[in-house]
Structure 1
Amino acid sequence: MKDAHSLHYIDVRHLRVGMHVHLDVGWIDHPFALSSFRIASPEQIATIRSLGLTQVRWEPLRSDPAAVEAYEAEVSGGEPPQPTQPAAPVDAAAQAEQEARRRRRELLAAQQASLMQCERELMQAQRSYKQLVDQVHTEPQSAREKSEALIHGFRDKICGTHETCIRLLTEVAGDRASFHSLNVTVISMLLGKAVGLTPEELQDLGLGALLHDIGKIDLPDRVRWKDEHFTLAELQFYQEHVAHGVSIARKMQLSPTAALVIGQHHEHADGSGFPLRLAGERILVAARIVALVNRYDNLCNPQNPAKAMTPHEALSLMFAQMKSRFDGTILSAFIKMMGVYPPGSVVQLTDDRYAMVVSVNAARPLKPRVIVHDPRVPRDEALLVDLEDHTDLGVRRSLKPLQLPRESLEYLSPRQRICYFFERAREARLED
């Protein structure tokens, strides 16, 4: 046996209840109260495995002796300690049911851990955004540094070794401005990667997306969000947020590309935008991306929630009636990335069950992950279903939330506000 007083690395596949482990990741990267603790349940093991670690450190001296002895027997090729009393006859059916329940608990724990991780990172990003907005006039350099750090973290996520997809999050408290800016940033950077931008170009794109509406802080509240009932004077007042944003970008000493994104995020490919009515190639690629994503998010999350479109409706409208406003190549890449049924869409499956799309991987746009209304399963215990794992199951049609039966509406609880964040694509498929 190894020295019990030292720390050793152990493959996460060999973790056991009773082992004392140390997680070598930041506190924001795991859902546990502490980074060093004794494993108390199979669910905690499943959560650790869901973090993407291949090994963790463990401390035999502070572990349950039975767990240490069982592990040593396993790795040495021997048999784990046997009970002193003869085991009762095994009921095969009961054993299979117990194993199925254990597997379900593990999957549910991993699913919840992944969601919690996304939500914690979003809330941290929101706090950072609010801090930098408060500093843009008084400490512009500090605001720039906070912006760059936040975007650098996002860039590392999408340029890392793991495949990244888009995850729908639950509604969390916060103001519309910060969530809109973060939504636009997340989707713009993923879209930028999809169209082949370099890491350096993604950094500038992210900065421009994050700060595209920064000029609105110099406007009165009543004209910060475009309204169809604006007078001409109010509309002109609203459009001035672009010039204010460029001025702030100069004070922050942002890169020329990031500043151009702020200045061009309302320009349209057909020349119908503002403030300069630029068209086609005269608009920066990064600005074309932000203009498209900005429009999508405003359709899904308008000032008046009663006018909100479902993600599927917004995508369909942009393709059918607004195609001329956007770069064709970027629009096609956007539709492929978001999927025909973007996260947040309410759908009916081919077996007539109702579901809500929660995650989409660009490599599988027609086969998203969904939460399915199953009256036999409590909503907080519902497992996500990956439609790619079910060749005989797909999406029949998209629905408005009010088209759902009352029971399905209450179970699925479609979001009033669509909120997205990065999620690492799974390395292993969830079983049905």
Structure 2
Amino acid sequence: MNEGKNTQFVTVQELRVGMHVHLDLGWLDHPFALNSFRIGSPDQIETLRSLGVVRVRWDPERSDTAVLAALTAPPKPVYQMTPAEVAEAEQRRLRREQLAAQNASLAQCERQYAQANRTFKQLAEQVHAQPLESREKSQALIDGFLEALAGKHETCIRLLTEVAGDRASFHSVNVTVISMLLGRAAGLSEQDLSDLGIGALLHDIGKVDLPDRVRWKDEHFTVAEIQFYQEHVAHGVNLARKMQLGVGAAQVIAQHHEHVDGTGFPQRLSAERISMPARIVALVNRYDNLCNPQNPAKALTPHEALSLMFAQMKSRFDAAMLSAFIRMMGVYPPGSVVQLTDERYALVVSVNSARPLKPRVVVHDARVPREEALIVDLEDEPQLGIRRSLKPLQLPKASLDYLSPRQRVCYFFERARESAAEGDGLAA
């Protein structure tokens, strides 16, 4: 059979359905009925490529016209993006990078928080059988926290997502994290910070000796149940002796329910007889119990809890420490639901304790998928601020679903990003 005058060669990688090809092979060297045929399917192309030949002859005159048109068509011009499209693509790239960094930082905080919860649960379960080992676990955990707080870098208070675990564990870790941040802000020495951390972690350790029904104070307790509940302090002091804790940590356990006005328990101590670490833990303990009560329906927002403590309870707490606490947490602590000055709704997720008036927030933006929502640093938005705090149920449903305020307010600390001034100084 004569081939067309325009027979050409093509590599097997360039073969297409509709090409008329001629195989320069013996009949036994390929599975096709003829040496010359028009390719009818992708399977035939795969078979041709499996024969081990590099190229084959094809006849354009006997091939489909569509193949010729495709092969002879000029290449499509490469699309050139407009300057606006280039800028938009760059913004998307930066957004992806920021979102990845944001998620990585949160994931690290949540891993560390979960590990701290597990450590507390383990030491609480073995405190009677192995008190010295429980002390060692407590010290190791607090040493890790101290290492994270060491240095001159600024630290953020970070709101976490919903955290699994029992209430005793996350309450103890919450109180420890915030107490140590407050102690650091107050200028406590490293030894006092260590005592504060261990005392805060173990402040409720005596509750392991109470029945479940009286471990968390309830407004409906009888007089007998209140007395039963208050005995957790004495149980904690007894365990502190078995664990051979230092005096500073043991004082926190003994005094974390004392008030500077003498109305606390069990000894009704006045201000001068309460250690500074114990004053800090008493303050933070009350804050966390207001935000995370036994009955979630009675939970206050972080903003409400601070406002209530300042307006109605300030006589119970060290005045200077309460002021320092409010400065550190900010007017709108992490976990607060707020409305911004541009009317949008947001959730405060992080506060830099050195610059608390400009927290970082997640903003409800219907144009941005919830899983891609970026944290907005109000410090970078001079024209944007917080107008008011809200209860979650005051949010429009779309904002409530998007922001998903946490039922439990759980905190950890993370290193703050550098301010522009700090960045310039390092660059110099």
User: Rg larger in 1 or in 2?
Assistant: 2
| 1:382 to 2:400 alignment | no
Cross-structure match for 1:6: none
Cross-structure match for 1:406: 397
| 1:94 to 2:85 alignment | yes
Q: How far 1:87 sits from its partner (Å)?
A: 7.8
Taking a change above 3 Å as real, the CA distance of residues 128 and 392 of structure 1, as seen in their structure-2 partners, is: same
| 1:342 to 2:362 alignment | no
Code of the residue aligned with 2:167 in structure 1: it is R
| 1:245 to 2:236 alignment | yes
Code of the residue aligned with 2:371 in structure 1: it is D
Cross-structure match for 2:346: 355
Cross-structure match for 1:254: 245
Aligned 8 A contact 1:205 1:286 in 2: yes
| 1:270 to 2:265 alignment | no
Q: Provide the C-alpha distance between the structure 2 equivalents of 1:153 and 1:241, rounded to a whole number of angstroms.
A: 27
* Farther-moved stretch of structure 1 (95-104 vs 309-318): 95-104
- Residue of structure 1 aligned with 2:303, choices 299, 308, 312: 312
Q: Provide the C-alpha distance between the structure 2 equivalents of 1:173 and 1:90, rounded to a whole number of angstroms.
A: 47
Q: Provide the C-alpha distance between the structure 2 equivalents of 1:156 and 1:98, rounded to a whole number of angstroms.
A: 40
Unaligned runs of 5+ in 1: 1-85
Q: How far 1:88 sits from its partner (Å)?
A: 6.4
Q: How does 1:51-200 map to 2 (within 5 A)?
A: 89=80, 91-200=82-191
Code of the residue aligned with 2:361 in structure 1: it is V
Aligned 8 A contact 2:109 2:414 in 1: yes
Any idea what SS the aligned residue of 2:413 has? strand
| 1:234 to 2:221 alignment | no
Percent identity, aligned pairs only? 76
Q: Provide the C-alpha distance between the structure 1 equivalents of 2:364 and 2:326, rounded to a whole number of angstroms.
A: 26
Aligned 8 A contact 2:258 2:264 in 1: yes
Cross-structure match for 2:22: none
Unaligned runs of 5+ in 2: 1-76, 421-428
**What is the number of equivalent residue pairs in this alignment?**
344
Q: Provide the C-alpha distance between the structure 1 equivalents of 2:162 and 2:124, rounded to a whole number of angstroms.
A: 22
Code of the residue aligned with 2:184 in structure 1: it is K
Aligned 8 A contact 2:170 2:410 in 1: yes
Aligned 8 A contact 2:139 2:198 in 1: yes
Q: Provide the C-alpha distance between the structure 1 equivalents of 2:117 and 2:235, rounded to a whole number of angstroms.
A: 22
Q: Provide the C-alpha distance between the structure 1 equivalents of 2:323 and 2:124, rounded to a whole number of angstroms.
A: 33
Cross-structure match for 1:10: none
Cross-structure match for 2:360: 369
Cross-structure match for 2:323: 332
Q: How far 1:428 sits from its partner (Å)?
A: 5.9
Q: CA RMSD in A?
A: 1.2
Any idea what SS the aligned residue of 2:334 has? coil
> TM-score, normalising length from structure 2?
0.79
Cross-structure match for 1:79: none
Cross-structure match for 2:49: none
Q: Provide the C-alpha distance between the structure 2 equivalents of 1:404 and 1:99, rounded to a whole number of angstroms.
A: 33
Cross-structure match for 1:42: none
Shift >4 Å, 4+ stretches: 86-90
Aligned 8 A contact 1:159 1:199 in 2: no
Any idea what SS the aligned residue of 2:346 has? strand
Q: Provide the C-alpha distance between the structure 1 equivalents of 2:106 and 2:310, rounded to a whole number of angstroms.
A: 31
